[in-house]
Amino acid sequence: MPSNTPSAQERQALRLELRLRRRSLRGSRRVLATRAIVAQLRRLPAFRAARSIALYWPADGEPDLRTLAPAARARGKRLYLPVVGHRGVMSFAPWDEPASLRCNRYGIPEPVGRRRLQATQLDLVILPLVAFDARCHRLGMGGGYYDRALQRRGRRPVLIGAAFALQEVPAVPQQPWDVPLDLVVTERGRRKKGARA
């Protein structure tokens, strides 16, 4: 009997295609798209209201949001970066200036020797993605780190995906453990619960 659950192979094939698509955006097009994403994030009510915000260090062609940090700090916001623990558990460590960073096993810088918070202790988590759809479903890199971190019990932070518009697909194949986003921001606009926001 056929199953409606997407296979691991289908999800992996979509990941490979969209990672290539994301990396294909280069030069001035990438710079302008990234600036537009940062500008939109700065205008969001959720960003303005948040006191504690998790960003990410860009890798594999993800939008580089590090220029958002100085403006956030100037407004008194506390910034955090994800840290992947030894058992695959993601937490969030303070990202101050200057911060001591060390690359994890994926080559992504993480704050060193800092007190860590759970996602439930943050107001806003801005996270990368490989693909998204109009219903704010997200396909990540496949490790499940964000999904596990966001399924913990407690207050749920606002979840905003940052992506280039070319990463949108008609439908992201979902698994029961996938955590949907509240909003996806691209250089062309915002996606929220199936409609432009």
Domains of the chain plus CATH, in order, are 8-131+143-153+163-174+185-196 (3.40.50.10420)
pLDDT score for 178? 86
What pLDDT was estimated at residue 7? 78
d(Cα 164, Cα 123) in Å, to the nearest integer?
24
C-alpha torsion sign, points 63, 48, 93, 176:
negative
Strands (E), 15-162: 52-54, 78-84, 90-94, 101-103, 109-111, 124-128, 131-132, 138-139, 158-162
Spans in the chain with pLDDT lower than 50: 1-3, 194-197
Strands (E), 23-66: 52-54
pLDDT for 151 equals 83
pTM: 0.90
Say what the pLDDT of residue 160 is: 97
**pLDDT number for residue 8:** 82
Which H/E stretch holds residue 186?
Answer: strand 183-186
3-state helix, strand, coil in the chain (%, to 5): 30, 25, 45
pLDDT at 2: 44
Q: Write down the pLDDT at residue 148.
A: 87
